[in-house]
Structure 1
Amino acid sequence: MVEEVMQQLAGLGSPAIKNIYLKHGAKEPFFGVKVGDLKPIQKKLKKNYSLSKELYQTGNSDAMYLAGLIADEKAMTKADLQDWVNNAVWYMHCEYTVAWVAAESNYGFELAKEWVQSDHENTATAGWATLASLVSIKADTELNIDFLSKQLDHVANVIHDSPNRVRYVMNGFVIAVGCYVPALTEKAKAAARKIGKVSVNMGDTTCKTPDAYAYIEKVEQAGRIGKKKKMARC
């Protein structure tokens, strides 16, 4: 099955997409498959625990991303998720694949608390991204509001001295808490004001770091504060 899927991915690869991913920091090997082109494969394969692990172990970036889309979050063990974060090679894995599956798993909060303390940029990145995903899908009654509040204080104090992608996801964490946890919206806005502009090296791309305060205010004005998502993966 793995060989068949890899052949499909190879056929969907695009030099143009590959070049875009390289500019964003992707590492070889990979084919350069659009995320949109992975969706039909995801729909066909559905959730498949063993196949997702095999695909991730290939080290091929496209296959690793697909692995996250088809992972059975309830079957994933803590060891599986730790292995995934240890082998993530760029931000699409850390901030999306690993964070999404971890947040939907039984170990999201436990692992996020460990990962955010890591000195390894990819691991810390995955940790903050997991926290951001958790607040977006979990009912506030399932969240540790006091912990999240303390993390807002922590981020406001250390974000500008943190590693590059960690700065980006810390900023995203402030946005997520402000948008999804009404009890902390004002505190998140205050943290965003204190933080100000967050400088992140986006490489040879036109991507920009969102203004956290403006983002939260826009969601607030739209009356969507506290509107949760059904799942982290998209």
Structure 2
Amino acid sequence: MSTTLPEALAELAALEDPKARAVNERHGDAHGVNLSRMRALAKRIGTDPGLSRELYDCGDVAGQLLGILVAKPRALAAGELDRMVRATQSAKAHDWLVAYLVKKSPHAEELRLRWLDDAGPDARAAAWSLTSARVAKTPDGLDLDALLDRIERELAAAPAREQWAMNETLATIGIHHAALRDRAIAIGERLQVLADYPTPPNCTSPFAPLWIAEMVRRQG
């Protein structure tokens, strides 16, 4: 028997933890559900496209996250994914939507191209995340120099979520394409985007020159 929307929301409410909410809200995610417990709930529910749509449209952050986990990526039309990226309620929902649904969709490249010049910063952020994946895995057909030109023009003034994703593309070009590594590092050094980002010990800085250097060192 399939889970109904009220039942799913009630189960999420039962998992609410004030301490988890305090931590999550510091990272831009207004929910208090431990993600391991949420994944266990999603596994128990199983894939349910209908419930997924209802959860995503319920206006609740935890509901959106659970909706992503029970979705069927290849069953989602390009228009539906476009609508979803504009309706994300949190940074985590945006990240999961792109990683778990859009990147696995047959419409990923169509949406990447559509979103790169979109008026909405969340859509552009998704496009840059998709671009990073292509730079790393399937770069044929990409004009990497033109991407660097655009990053150099737009990175410093980009909205936070888009800036983070664009910076990832800058670092990914430097890591995976040795011929453009010096240029990518130089852009990062000049713009200083995320240079002062607080990075815990034993973690890699998101500052592109440091990120590139560390990943190249690991490859060597």
Common topology (TM > 0.5) = yes
Q: TM-score, normalised by structure 1?
A: 0.77
Larger radius of gyration: 2
Q: Indicate the residue corresponding to 1:223 in structure 2.
A: 219
Q: Indicate the residue corresponding to 2:184 in structure 1.
A: 191
Is contact 1:12–1:37 with CA below 8 Å preserved after alignment? Answer: yes
Q: Indicate the residue corresponding to 2:149 in structure 1.
A: 153
Give the Cα separation in 1 of the matches to 2:80 and 2:58: 15
Aligned length: 211
Q: TM-score, normalised by structure 2?
A: 0.82
**Residues 68, 35 of structure 1: alpha-carbon distance in 2 compared, 3 angstrom cutoff:** same
Q: Which has the higher contact order (CA 8 A, sep 6+)?
A: 1
| Corresponding letter in the other structure for 2:33 | V
The one-character-per-residue Cα deviations of 1:92-126 (angstroms, maximum 9, x if unpaired) are: 22233235411110111111222121232222222
Residue 159 of structure 1: how far off its partner (Å): 0.3
Is contact 1:174–1:188 with CA below 8 Å preserved after alignment? Answer: no
Question: Which of 18, 21, 28 is equivalent to 2:21?
Answer: 18
Q: Indicate the residue corresponding to 2:131 in structure 1.
A: 131
**Residues 74, 135 of structure 1: alpha-carbon distance in 2 compared, 3 angstrom cutoff:** farther
**Residues 74, 17 of structure 1: alpha-carbon distance in 2 compared, 3 angstrom cutoff:** same
Is contact 1:94–1:125 with CA below 8 Å preserved after alignment? Answer: no
Give the Cα separation in 1 of the matches to 2:57 and 2:16: 19
**Residues 159, 173 of structure 1: alpha-carbon distance in 2 compared, 3 angstrom cutoff:** same
Give the Cα separation in 2 of the matches to 1:114 and 1:76: 16
Is contact 1:78–1:107 with CA below 8 Å preserved after alignment? Answer: yes
Give the Cα separation in 1 of the matches to 2:219 and 2:196: 32
Give the Cα separation in 2 of the matches to 1:35 and 1:220: 32
Residue 144 of structure 1: how far off its partner (Å): 4.0
**Residues 200, 35 of structure 1: alpha-carbon distance in 2 compared, 3 angstrom cutoff:** farther
Decide which moves more: 16-25 or 185-194. Answer: 185-194
RMSD: 2.7
